[in-house]
């Protein structure tokens, strides 16, 4: 019986590893890695820490108990925690020693152990962590990139049990392969952020934290919208994989706009404002030569994220973006605007209003909500405004994870 289970899990790991290599977005990959590690061990919760200098930062968190208790839009998924890589915590100890660790009862550790269980998450969420399996994520055979930690293994009746020796072997094997995929995805994310840093040199308001928030808001809005429309889970996962990065690049066309406009301290005149509008077209043109789903989504978001639901936005209908002479057309209206662009439009405005700028202080949350509601059916898709109101607590958590 046990031999058959081990064989089944080995086959599962091989299949998963092939899928992991296709995932482009770091967050989508972390989500999949954590989900599969929990599935292998039938565990209730887990988290992934990634190395950030001398520290570990929690980057992804899943918890079925809290999700069922608080619904999908709970705040716990954006819980923020940073731990030093030393012997004082479970994850820090595993990162330091690069050895897996099994714990039977997290709240009752023997006093002779060098580490202690960090109770911050349990206190913040009301959750009770009992059994823990913590394994290092080592890429290239030598580079520690993080820690995969899964919590509260369960038996067939849902009762919490200890992680077994077989669990440790399977998850450690899986973590070895997952670490390489995570390392590749992180390099891709770093490359994207460097591109955004280039834009930041041109436009001080286009910061790395801003685009991370816009990407995270967009993913949450899309996931809720897609579930409302009963899209297949495979389609949702595929879109989420590419949406975050595409959303982060929504303003990349500003790289082609003059510094005299982007860095102007005073209000833009009509001619300057008309010029900056062209960042939508210029951004879309960057992705026209690619034929991947990611190129297509990046182009449609860059082009359309300033279109308005009532047709009053820009740049409007442009039949051929490769034409020698281009001019703005009649504004796209309603569902003529791609759903991804409608989502990023709301996410971008929300972040602009809630963030400090050189010319303003952040708006209070109540005023931001009032403004977005006032633009329901004119600037913004009415359904997306309704979804935004439902999941606003999640937006607040995202702002906490990626502060200005």
Mean pLDDT over residues 98-123, rounded? Answer: 94
Residue 255 phi/psi, 5-degree rounding, is -60, -25
Cβ(353)–Cβ(363) below 8 Å:
yes
The whole-angstrom separation of Cα 147 and Cα 83 is: 11
The span from the first CA to the last CA of the chain, in angstroms, equals 53
Which of 253, 285, 257 has its CA nearest to residue 272?
257
Tally of CA atoms within 13 A in the half-sphere of 158 that contains its CB: 2
Convert the pLDDT of each residue in 73-88 to its tens digit: 566 777 888 999 999 9
Query: Is the pLDDT at 1 greater than 60, yes or no?
Result: no
Which of 355, 393, 384 has its CA nearest to residue 228?
384
Convert the pLDDT of each residue in 323-341 to its tens digit: 989 999 999 999 999 999 9
Cβ(102)–Cβ(168) below 8 Å:
yes
**Residue 177: band (very low, low, confident or very high) from pLDDT cuts 50, 70, 90:** confident
pLDDT for position 183: 93
Q: Other C-beta atoms within 10 Å of 75: how many? A: 17
**Residue 381: band (very low, low, confident or very high) from pLDDT cuts 50, 70, 90:** very high
Based on the residue annotation, tell me whether 119 is a catalytic residue of this protein: no
Q: 3-state class of 204 per DSSP?
A: coil
The whole-angstrom separation of Cα 281 and Cα 314 is: 10
Structure-model confidence comparison of residues 357 and 59, the more confident one: 59
Cβ(337)–Cβ(314) below 8 Å:
no
Query: Is the pLDDT at 207 greater than 90, yes or no?
Result: no
Range from 182-191, 215-224, 339-348 carrying the lowest mean pLDDT: 182-191
Residue 61 phi/psi, 5-degree rounding, is -145, 135
The whole-angstrom separation of Cα 152 and Cα 46 is: 8
pLDDT for position 59: 92
Structure-model confidence comparison of residues 137 and 78, the more confident one: 137
Mean pLDDT over residues 366-387, rounded? Answer: 98
pLDDT for position 80: 83
**Residue 69: band (very low, low, confident or very high) from pLDDT cuts 50, 70, 90:** confident
Query: Is the pLDDT at 216 greater than 50, yes or no?
Result: yes
Distances in Å between the Cα of 397 and the Cα atoms of 73, 80, 129 are: 10, 9, 22
Which of 97, 96, 116 has its CA nearest to residue 107?
116
pTM: 0.86
Query: Is the pLDDT at 399 greater than 70, yes or no?
Result: yes
Query: Is the pLDDT at 202 greater than 70, yes or no?
Result: no
Mean pLDDT of all residues belonging to the chain: 90
Residue 258 phi/psi, 5-degree rounding, is -60, 140
The whole-angstrom separation of Cα 178 and Cα 182 is: 6
**Residue 104: band (very low, low, confident or very high) from pLDDT cuts 50, 70, 90:** very high
pLDDT for position 74: 60
Which of 298, 334, 21 has its CA nearest to residue 181?
21
**All domains in the chain, ordered by first residue:** 2-182 (3.30.450.40), 203-401 (1.10.3210.10)
Range from 3-12, 83-92, 127-136, 343-352 carrying the lowest mean pLDDT: 3-12
Mean pLDDT over residues 202-230, rounded? Answer: 87
Which of 98, 99, 107 has its CA nearest to residue 132?
107
Q: Exposed, middle or buried: residue 289 (CB in 10 Å: 0-12, 13-18, 19+)? A: exposed
Query: Is the pLDDT at 356 greater than 90, yes or no?
Result: no
pLDDT for position 204: 59
The helix (H) or strand (E) run that includes residue 223 is helix 208-228
pLDDT for position 191: 83
Query: Is the pLDDT at 14 greater than 80, yes or no?
Result: no
**Residue 199: band (very low, low, confident or very high) from pLDDT cuts 50, 70, 90:** low
Task: Choose the catalytic residue: 212, 239, 254, 375.
Answer: 254
Above pLDDT 70, what percent of the chain? 92
């Amino acid at each position: 019986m046990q031999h058959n289970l081990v064989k089944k899990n080995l086959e599962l790991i091989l299949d998963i590893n092939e899928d992991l290599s296709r995932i482009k977005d770091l967050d989508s990959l972390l989500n999949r890695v954590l989900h599969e590690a929990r599935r292998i061990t039938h565990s209730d919760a887990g988290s992934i820490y990634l190395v950030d200098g001398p520290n570990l930062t929690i980057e992804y968190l899943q918890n079925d108990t809290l999700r069922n208790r608080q619904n999908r839009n709970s705040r716990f998924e954006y819980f923020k925690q940073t731990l030093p890589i030393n012997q004082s915590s479970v994850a820090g100890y595993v990162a330091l020693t690069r050895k897996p660790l099994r714990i039977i009862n997290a709240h009752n550790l023997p006093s002779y152990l060098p580490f202690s269980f960090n109770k911050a998450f349990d206190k913040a969420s009301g959750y009770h962590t009992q059994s823990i399996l913590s394994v290092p994520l080592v890429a290239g055979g030598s580079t520690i990139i993080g820690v995969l930690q899964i919590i509260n293994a369960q038996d067939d009746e849902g009762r919490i049990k200890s992680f077994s020796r077989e669990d440790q072997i399977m998850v450690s094997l899986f973590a070895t392969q997952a670490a390489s995929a995570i390392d590749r995805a992180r390099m891709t994310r770093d490359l994207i952020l460097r591109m955004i840093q280039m834009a930041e040199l041109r436009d001080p308001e286009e910061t790395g934290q801003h685009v991370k928030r816009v990407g995270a808001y967009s993913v949450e809005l899309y996931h809720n919208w897609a579930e409302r429309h009963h899209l297949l889970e495979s389609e949702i996962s595929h879109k989420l994989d590419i949406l975050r990065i595409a959303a982060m690049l929504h303003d990349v066309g500003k790289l082609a706009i003059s510094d005299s406009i982007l860095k102007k301290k005073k209000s833009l005149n009509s001619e300057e404002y008309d010029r900056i509008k062209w960042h939508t077209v210029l951004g879309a043109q960057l992705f026209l030569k690619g034929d991947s789903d990611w190129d297509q989504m990046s182009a449609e978001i860059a082009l359309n994220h300033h279109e308005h639901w009532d047709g009053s936005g820009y740049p409007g209908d442009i039949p051929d973006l490769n034409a020698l002479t281009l001019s703005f057309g009649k504004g796209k209206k309603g569902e003529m605007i791609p759903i991804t662009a409608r989502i990023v439009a709301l996410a971008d405005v929300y972040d602009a209003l809630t963030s400090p700028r050189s010319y303003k202080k952040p708006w209070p949350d109540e005023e931001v909500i009032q403004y977005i509601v006032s633009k329901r059916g004119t600037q913004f898709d009415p359904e997306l405004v309704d979804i935004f109101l439902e999941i606003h607590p999640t937006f607040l958590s995202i702002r906490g994870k990626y502060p200005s």
